[in-house]
Amino acid sequence: MHRTLVTLTAAIALVAALVQAASAGLTLAHPSARAKNLAIGSGAVCRVPYSDAAIANAAQPELPRIAKEQGIAGAAVIEIRLSPSGKLVAGKIANSSGNPWLDREALASAAQSKYVPETQDCNAVGGAYLLTVDFNS
């Protein structure tokens, strides 16, 4: 099962709860909304028992020069797998842009980005997510 992690655009904009920047944006989606209750375990208080995976630092994809010169655009969907620490452990093309240059740049952008793992019941968990890198600008 894949969860949608984010959508990156060639003119990437960080959105919502991550970082507000003029030209950066990420959209996070989680399959279900959960109550944000305080959880107490082993004497410790967990203030956010459930949170979605997020991109902590997005590597902005660059439209390859040859693609720009030829007017090539498209979007690639990358399947990424994150460890419970948020480290990218695997990335592959789930849906090609139709252009190998764009696909390679999308994979590079996914690999260079830094992630925050999802939490469930106050525990960080790994998972599979879909990352869309859009070169249609």
For residue range 75-125, list pLDDT tens digits in order: 999 999 999 999 999 999 999 999 999 999 999 999 999 999 999 999 999
Q: In which residue are the tokens 């959105």 written? A: 15
In the chain the domains, ranked by start, together with CATH numbers, are 3-134 (3.30.2420.10)
Share of the chain above pLDDT 70, in %: 67
Which has more pLDDT, 58 or 32? 58
Average pLDDT of the chain to the nearest whole number: 76
Which residues are paired to 124 by β-bridges? 119
* Pairwise CA distance, residues 74 & 2, whole Å: 22
DSSP for 3-56 reads EEEEEEETT-B--TTS---TT-B-----SS------EEETTEEES-S-B--EEE
The pTM (predicted TM-score) of the whole model is 0.68
